[in-house]
Structure 1
Amino acid sequence: MQIPLIPPFASGPAQADALFTFWLQECADVPAVQALTPVTNAGLLIVLQLILADTGDIKVDHQDIWTVLAGANSIQFGMATGKGHNRVAVVGQQLWDGSTLLGDDTLPAHRILLAIQSGTATELEMDELTYLLEYVMSQAGDQAEVVFGHGLNPALGESIQVMMLVSRQ
Structure 2
Amino acid sequence: MHTPIKISALPVGAFGRAVQAYLLAKGAPGVELLLDAWPTERETGATEDPAEEVLFILADWQEAGQEKLAKVLGRGQRDPNTFTVVVTLEPLGNGAATNGTLRGNREVAAAAADAMIVLPATGLPQANPAPATLQAIYKVITHLTDLALDAHKADVSIDFEDVKTVLRGTGYSFVGIGQASGADRAMEAATQAISYPFMRKEQLENSARVLLNIFSGPTTELEMEELTQITDLIQDACGDDCEVIFGHGLAEVLDQDIEVFLLATQ
TM bin, normalised by shorter chain, reads 0.7 to 0.9
Structure 2: tracts of 5 or more residues without a match: 8-28, 32-50, 58-83, 87-105, 127-132
Match of 1:18 in 2: 54
Match of 1:42 in 2: 137
Distance 1:90 1:50, change over 3 A: farther
Q: Tell me how far 1:59 sits from its aligned partner.
A: 2.0
Distance 1:107 1:74, change over 3 A: farther
Match of 1:110 in 2: 208
* TM-score (structure 2 length as normaliser): 0.50
CA contact (8 A) 1:68 1:111 kept: yes
Equivalent position amino acid for 2:179 in 1: T
* TM-score (structure 1 length as normaliser): 0.75
SS for the counterpart of 1:84 is coil
1:85 to 183, 196, 200: 183
Q: Cα deviations across residues 99-141 of structure 1 (Å, max 9, x unaligned)?
A: 5249x73872211111111112111011110110010111111
CA contact (8 A) 1:19 1:66 kept: no
Q: Tell which has more relative contact order, 1 or 2 (C-alpha 8 A, sep 6+).
A: 1
* RMSD, matched Cα: 3.5
Match of 2:166 in 1: 68
Q: d(CA) in 1 for partners of 2:162 and 2:153?
A: 15
SS for the counterpart of 2:173 is strand
CA contact (8 A) 2:204 2:264 kept: no
Structure 1: tracts of 5 or more residues without a match: 1-5
Q: d(CA) in 2 for partners of 1:63 and 1:114?
A: 14
CA contact (8 A) 1:69 1:167 kept: yes
Distance 1:99 1:69, change over 3 A: farther
CA contact (8 A) 2:213 2:246 kept: yes
Q: d(CA) in 1 for partners of 2:251 and 2:5?
A: 22
1:33 to 101, 116, 119: 116
Equivalent position amino acid for 1:56 in 2: K
Q: Tell me how far 1:7 sits from its aligned partner.
A: 5.5
Q: How high is the sequence identity, in percent, across the aligned residues?
A: 28
Q: d(CA) in 1 for partners of 2:235 and 2:55?
A: 26
Q: d(CA) in 1 for partners of 2:225 and 2:197?
A: 24
Q: Tell me how far 1:165 sits from its aligned partner.
A: 0.5
Instruction: Determine which structure has more spread, i.e. the larger CA radius of gyration.
Output: 2
Distance 1:10 1:114, change over 3 A: same
Q: Does the alignment pair 1:8 with 2:4?
A: yes
Q: d(CA) in 2 for partners of 1:140 and 1:124?
A: 23
Match of 2:198 in 1: 100
